[in-house]
A and B are shown apart, each in its own frame.
Chain A
Amino acid sequence: MKKRLIYSLASLFLLFTLGSGLSMLYTYRISHDLESVINLHRIEIVRQSFVINIQNVQSNLYATGTVFGKELDTIVDNVSAMDDSIQNCLNCHHNPEMTERLNNVHNVVEQYKDAISYLVTSTANEARIERLKMVAVGIGDSLLAKTQEMATIADKTLRNRTIEAVKAIKKSRVILVITLAVSLVLALGIAATLTRQITAPVYELVNAARMIASGKVGYKTGYTDNTEFGEVANSFNAMSTALQAEHDKTEHYIEQLSGLYKVTLSFYDIFEMEQAFQEICTNISDILKVKQTILLLFDEKQKIYTPFASAGQTSAGLRTAMQMPLEKVVDLYQKSEGRPVIINDTGQAELFRALVPEEEHEQNMMLAWLNTKEKILGAIRVSDKNGYFTDEDSKILIILANHMAVAMENADLYRNLQNNMAELRETQEQLIQSAKLAAIGELASNVAHEINNPLTSIIGFAELSKEDDDIESIRMSLDIIEKESLRARDIVKQLLGFARKKPLHLTEVDINAVVKEVVVFSSSQTRMGKVRVTEEYSSIPTTTGDIDQLKQVFLNIITNAIHAMPDGGGLAIRTFTMGEYILISFSDTGQGISREVRHRIFEPFFSTKKEKGTGLGLSISYRIIQDHLGRIDVESESGKGTTFTVRLPQKPPAKTA
């Protein structure tokens, strides 16, 4: 069939190619001939215009007397046109003989121009002018002769080319007609036969294809034939069978995949792998359709690999045989190059004999390693599959093993994380405890130091009085003792106030009023300290707070500000709201607080004022404002001053009292 088709089409094609090739050849020759004919005609036109121009000039030369008038312009124009046409010719000819002729003509044209110029520029001597005219006319005549000669050549070529072209046209016409007629008859015959032979099997095949398309995979056509259509039918049937097989295989894979999905899903939900091992083994047995599945893992205590879980009828002997020391496992791992071991004939185990003990009489065995980057965690061993282990099986086992290894590693990491967290928490608690102790120690030493000073005076003056007889002097000493004792009491009182929280006595507070009162109260102090106070109050809502304690805070800040400006300065006090808070800022123009000191000013007993303070003022203020659920912020620039900003919530704090 194929041969028949090829032969008939090829013969048709050959016939056509031959015919069209021949006619193309002729057409090419004809067009070439015609082109040169056209060119020759074109040249002839150029030549004729050239001749006409020369004739015009010649007639002008002959006709006019020596006195040229207007004719001269005509001569110049004609000669220029002549020159142009010869230049035109020179540009298109390639034939060397013709080019030489043209060059020759060109030279003569130049001479003609020269001669005419001489004639025109001559001023005297009638005889000489006659001669010049004669020369010009002579050159013109020779030009005419030369062009005539060229015309004769061109004419001959023209005639030859035309005859050739006409001949070629005739030939090509005959060839074309014959080719077309023969091709038509042949094509019709071929078409009729082939149609009959092709339609029947095609119809049958189309029908079969429709059956498959509608879902009947495995449908077979009954068409037989010894032509290519028979082959096609056979191939079609084979294809249908193959499709059926592939269809079954696909369904099997889908089943395996869903099993696989089920198994791997469980890996990530649980962190205690051991609980799931048994279940996993069972699932593997199901997916791979094996009789036994053993999961080997490394036993940290015994330092051996041992079966951790199993599924199917695993004999005790097999489990014992599978207990293997580290080195042996490493050896097997290296032999397998990390890839799964498949033994479909247990008689031929060779390198991996250790994995399939003969006494167990297993049919076949497959093992996949469970390993991370650093170590071999263990292996999954399956055996006794009905049939043999395929590549698909090994791929599935690898996927399972990899997922399991990752899940086990994750579980391990999770366990480690939990341990670390516990350790961290313990350390932290210890750290807090020791920090507390250190703080108390420091506080104690500070308190001791503060109290030690008045006590030293008290003891000194008490001893002095013992030996003193002068009552006045004793009284004076007693006064001092009293004063120092009172100072010590104050310290203790303050300390108590700091250590023991004083409960807040909450009332409705107008912060502006409180600040004004404190400013008035400290006015004598500010005046003495040459501090100019400016106040700026915004309308702020009332809040809830302990008025006395707040007064203490504000007074403390103002006092500190005065102390920060020993040579006087300015203190700007401002109240305003920002968001949920009421803000009260105190900006002085003092020496400022250095960055190191700024971190510590709210610590108890920290003071920069040497004799003037106890070092508790700001820490108490801080505590008070904290109790009001507010905050104190300090901004300072060395040499430019300090701003304390007290921030109190507009919403009152819950009553703690």
Chain B
Amino acid sequence: MSVSSKKTFFLLSGLLVMVFLMTPSVSLSADNRIGVIMTGNIPYYQELHKAFMARLGREGISAKTEVILQNPYPDAISLSNAARKLIVADVDVIVVYGASAAVSVLHEQTRIPMVYAAAYEPFMSQIKTRNSTGITIKLSPSRLLRYLRELTQISALAVVYSGNEADSLFQFREISKLAGQYGFKIEAVNLNRHQEAKTKLSGIKMDALFVTGSSVAHMAMPAIGELSRERKIPLASFLLCRDSHAVVALSTSPVEQGEKAAEKVIKILEGVSPEKVRVETAQDVELVFNFKEAVSMGWKMPMDLVTEATRLIK
């Protein structure tokens, strides 16, 4: 045993002790164990998880299956910890909600198969996803920007994202690229913690706000929404919540995500290799338009948005 392997061994045994001490006791009598990590404890993932569990229940699986749920704060260390806990717990399949959690699991290079849900499709297609399958979200930042531009004239756009969340960072880059084409300035608002939102946004000169699909950002959503109404700045968002603070938002149904994820987990538990389970993209994209707010703010009504909106808040 070399020196370095010795070091690794001690480190791992230390970690193992820690993990055992921290995790709730895992029942060893169950047939299957499913580990779930959500990228931040936000209502959207909770709803997704509810649908996931319900689906498993309908299939009669939940009775003989133990589900270990991890909901760490959406930062790299917390997410890694959660992943390692589940690996140590030797679950049969790891289910992740959100691309950041998926990234932290992939980073551990475990042999445990993974099912991801609510992962941003353009980002997922860029990374290597071995031994995994899932359901992605495909949202078009250019579409949202188009509506935003119809609502108001933009010369500076504030983009709220989190550098700790890989998909959010990816979206920020996509939007920045588009902004270059349309010729407006980007004000980057990088949130490490949701409490920072108010102070980070306060000094910024902007005509519109864009909130990426970041969990931290969504935890700060009430504060951001309040600011947008105060300053009469239209807010667009990739929505990860039910009640929209944004005047225009694109989102997918958490129920669809949860159910599809459950279907895939079942297949894997039945012994199908993850590579053989088809990766799906969510069909049910919702375009939410807060008509009431747009009228009260006196913004120009984008009629395309009115006609295409799948949900109109009156």
A residues engaging B (CB < 8 A)? 104, 107-108, 110-111, 114-115, 117-118, 122, 128, 131-132, 134-135, 138-139, 142
Contact = CB atoms under 8 A, between A and B. Distances in A.
B58 interface: no
A134 to B, nearest CB: 7
Contacts of A111: 300-301
A115 B298 contact: no
Contacts of B307: 118, 122, 128, 131-132
Contact of B298 (A107, A118, A135): A107
B219 to A, nearest CB: 33
Contact of B303 (A104, A108, A114): A114
Given A118-B303, A118-B307, A134 B298 contact: no
Contacts of A107: 298, 300
Contacts of A122: 307
Contact of A131 (B295, B298, B300, B306): B306
A123 to B, nearest CB: 11
Interface of B: 291, 295, 298, 300-301, 303, 306-307, 312, 314
A122 B295 CA distance: 22
Nearest to A129: B307
A110 B302 CA distance: 11
B303 to A, nearest CB: 4
Contacts of B301: 111, 114-115, 135, 139
Contacts of A142: 295
A54 to B, nearest CB: 15
B149 to A, nearest CB: 16
A102 to B, nearest CB: 12
A115 B303 contact: yes
**Which of A128, A135, A139 counts the most B-chain CB atoms under 10 A from its CB?**
A135
Contacts of B306: 115, 118, 131-132, 135
A128 B305 CA distance: 11
Contacts of B303: 114-115, 117-118, 132, 135
16 contacts: A107-B298, A108-B298, A110-B300, A111-B301, A115-B306, A118-B303, A118-B306, A118-B307, A128-B307, A131-B306, A131-B312, A132-B303, A135-B306, A138-B314, A139-B295, A139-B301
A104 B291 contact: no
B300 A135 contact: no
A33 to B, nearest CB: 33
Contacts of A114: 301, 303
Contacts of A104: 298
Nearest to B292: A138
Given A115-B301, A135-B301, A139-B301, 7 more contacts: A107-B300, A110-B300, A111-B300, A117-B303, A134-B314, A135-B303, A138-B295
Contacts of A135: 291, 301, 303, 306
Which 6 A-B pairs have CB atoms at the shortest separation, nearest pair first?
Answer: A118-B303, A111-B301, A135-B306, A114-B303, A104-B298, A142-B295
Contacts of B291: 135, 138
A417 B291 CA distance: 123
Contacts of A108: 298
A36 B298 CA distance: 29
B153 to A, nearest CB: 13
Nearest to B302: A114
A132 B305 CA distance: 11
A132 B307 CA distance: 7
A110 B299 CA distance: 11
Contacts of A115: 301, 303, 306
Nearest to A117: B303
A118 B150 CA distance: 15
A139 B291 CA distance: 10
B312 to A, nearest CB: 6
Nearest to A112: B301
A381 to B, nearest CB: 107
A353 to B, nearest CB: 105
A138 B314 CA distance: 9
Contacts of A118: 303, 306-307
A330 to B, nearest CB: 100
Contacts of B300: 107, 110-111
Contacts of B295: 138-139, 142
A128 to B, nearest CB: 6
Nearest to A121: B303
B248 to A, nearest CB: 14
Nearest to A125: B307
Contacts of B312: 131
A117 B295 CA distance: 18
A132 B314 CA distance: 12
A621 B306 CA distance: 134
A122 B303 CA distance: 11
A110 to B, nearest CB: 7
A107 B295 CA distance: 11
B216 to A, nearest CB: 35
Nearest to B294: A111
A104 B299 CA distance: 9
A591 B300 CA distance: 113
A45 to B, nearest CB: 26
Nearest to A146: B298
A131 B311 CA distance: 11
A100 to B, nearest CB: 10
A132 B295 CA distance: 14
A132 B312 CA distance: 11
A128 B289 CA distance: 14
A114 B295 CA distance: 14
**Which of B298, B301, B307 counts the most A-chain CB atoms under 10 A from its CB?**
B301
